[in-house]
Amino acid sequence: MAYQTLLTSLENGIFTITINRPDKLNALNRDVMHDLDEVMNEVYNNAAIRSVIITGAGPKSFVAGADISEFIGLSGEEGKLLAKKGQDIFFKIENAPKPVVACINGFALGGGCELAMSCHFRIAAENAKFGQPEVNLGLIPGYGGTQRLTQLIGKGRSLELLMSAGMIDAKTALQYGLVNYVVPQEELLGKAISILEIINSKAPLAIAGCITTANAVFDESNNGFEVERNEFAKCFGTEDMKEGTSAFLEKRKAVFQGK
Ligand code: COA
């Protein structure tokens, strides 16, 4: 499917989504948010997609935030609707049954940092910069940033960043646990692909179970241990579990079908 603001490609089960507004540092305007919503439907529904990379076009920016020009004149009620829509799209990423990795190729500010945090894990290029500068605009993050930043780096570091509008570099993001790796920009996608190739060789339904259970840690309406028991039980009904355990005992490599 073609998108107005995104480039997509599918190779060996790895679907790369590139936000493509480099002249505006890939800021998330309504069109990009609409396309992100649609492209996630494709991720959910296309069985050929095994895992996903989200990145930004150009060497300078992953996403420099929500498009500030669209904030002018919004009422509180309209602001609430905007936040709800953004949060729902980012929940769709977070709850995707396939791994979604953010490859951060530059600025990840405001909604860009929030987008990266909604992905299952993050890899940064050496020039990446992270921050939630909304207080500069008299705002706070509205697409889940206050929650996920605090989950990922802890309350003290999160509140310092949120309240100061400070930016941290890739090395500090690594030290904070916000990203898993920092690599030279030319190795960014390659690093993600090498990890996703390993994940794609595992049982897809079990991978989905890992995502569901890890997300349950942060969902107060759910008991995470109960979710884990249920997901564990579900695995026993799968062909892949029979294949994985038999292959181990027969000393051969498992071939998973996602069934
Ligand atoms: N929304 C709308 N437009 C944005 C944007 C955003 N969040 N971030 C960057 N842009 C636009 C700029 O307005 C500029 O457009 P123009 O060329 O038509 O004037 C273009 O992208 C390039 O940005 P520029 O500011 O010239 O680049 P820079 O290298 O000097 O600075 C940043 C880079 C990221 C530091 C700066 O663009 C910035 O502070 N952006 C806003 C970050 C932010 O507050 N995000 C949170 C939003 S809630």
| Beta-bridge mates of residue 109 | 131
Nearest residue CA, atom 37 of ligand 1? Answer: 64
Distance, in Å, from the CA atom of 183 to the CA atom of 186, rounded to the nearest integer, reads 8
Percent of the chain at pLDDT exceeding 90:
97
Predicted confidence (pLDDT) per residue in 112-132, tens digit: 999 999 999 999 999 999 999
At 83, which helix (H) or strand (E)? Answer: helix 76-94
pLDDT at residue number 213 = 97
pLDDT at residue number 31 = 98
Q: Please name each of the domains of the chain with its CATH number.
A: 6-199 (3.90.226.10), 202-249 (no CATH)
pLDDT at residue number 89 = 98
11-29: average pLDDT:
98
Active site residue 114: yes
**Which pLDDT band, with edges at 50, 70 and 90, does 150 fall under?**
very high
Query: What is the torsion angle, in degrees rounded to the nearest 10, for the CA atoms of residue 137, residue 149, residue 104 and residue 58?
Result: -10
Predicted confidence (pLDDT) per residue in 129-138, tens digit: 999 999 999 9
Task: State which ligand 1 atom lies nearest to the alpha carbon of 60.
Answer: 29
Residue from 114, 126, 186, 187 carrying the catalytic annotation: 114
Best residue among 25, 69, 132 to mutate for probing ligand 1, ranked by most atoms within 8 Å of CB: 25
pLDDT at residue number 238 = 94
Is 90 exceeded by the pLDDT of residue 103?
A: yes
162-179: average pLDDT:
98
**Which pLDDT band, with edges at 50, 70 and 90, does 1 fall under?**
confident
- Residue 242 carries which side chain, given as an amino acid letter? K
Predicted confidence (pLDDT) per residue in 184-213, tens digit: 999 999 999 999 999 999 999 999 999 999
Residue 235 contacts residue 241 (beta carbons within 8 Å): yes
